[in-house]
Amino acid sequence: MNHYAPQLINLSATLILLLSFAMISQRRIVSLIHLFTMQGVVLVAASFLLGFVTQQPDLYVSGALTLVLKVFFIPWMLHRMIRKLNVRWDVETLLNIPTTMLVGIGLVIFAFSLVLPISRLSHSIASGSLGIALACVLLSFMMMIVRSKAIPQVIGFLSMENGLIFAATTVTNGMPMIVEFGIALDVLVAVLILGVFMFQIREKFDSLDIHNLEKLKDDCA
């Protein structure tokens, strides 16, 4: 099992990257939530696998925490939000899908070029996945930029956090548990606040387009 561990971790990294590409090209909000859930499942599997190989119980706790939050609770909460808000599609993007994919490929190349010297210094069994983790973070950040609706931006934020956790888990063999719980709490609070935020936008403007915030600022001025 230990012999195949690096290949399995790299396979997990590749799956997370492919899911990130699928997310930036997806217009249906329900499908975005499903892709985010699948990304969480892969992250949990990578944490459990690395915990088994390195014999670090903290990674099992980290995987269980990710399972509860990213695979069950947060997707359930997002589905509940879109049902209450009656939102299913996100058709407005700043870039069309082909252009978005080309920019995404450029970000992946940039990420690998940036982390290549750092990866050579790492002694982790999955040091090669650092570039993929950074690429996932950049792709998620781009998704937040090119989407004009609030819910896809929330999903982009959560996917970005997935990339950061994957990098910390695979490259450094895990973070201290106090950091894990702190990040999990921050993410949970952020989702709750963003949920209230989206309901307020919908109540005020009958739309989740964040450009309405500019009108609100002008009205306040």
Cα atoms found within 13 Å of the Cα of residue 206, Cβ hemisphere only? 0
Q: What percent of the chain has pLDDT over 70?
A: 67
Q: Is 5 exposed, middle or buried (0-12, 13-18, 19+ CB in 10 A)?
A: middle
Average pLDDT score over residue span 164-171: 77
Residue-wise burial string across 60-86, b where 16 or more C-beta atoms lie within 10 A, e elsewhere: ebbbebbbebbbeebbeebeebbeebe
> Computed over its alpha carbons, how large is the radius of gyration of the chain?
18
Q: What pLDDT, on the 0 to 100 scale, is given for residue 216? A: 47
* pTM of the predicted model as reported, rounded to 2 decimal places: 0.78
Query: DSSP class of residue 73?
Result: I
Cα(67)–Cα(174) distance, integer angstroms:
16
What pLDDT, in 10s, does the model give residues 55-111?
877 788 888 888 888 889 888 888 887 777 776 666 567 778 888 889 989 998 998
Closest CA to 133 of 15, 3, 218, 6: 15
Under the banding of pLDDT at 50, 70 and 90, the label for residue 201 is: low
Q: What pLDDT, on the 0 to 100 scale, is given for residue 184? A: 62
What pLDDT, in 10s, does the model give residues 2-57?
566 678 888 888 898 899 999 888 888 888 889 999 999 998 898 888 888 878 77
Which residue range is the domain that position 32 belongs to? 5-220
CA 162 to chain centre: 4
3-state secondary structure of 89: strand
Q: How many domains does the chain have?
A: 1
Cα(115)–Cα(135) distance, integer angstroms:
10
Q: What pLDDT, on the 0 to 100 scale, is given for residue 3? A: 63
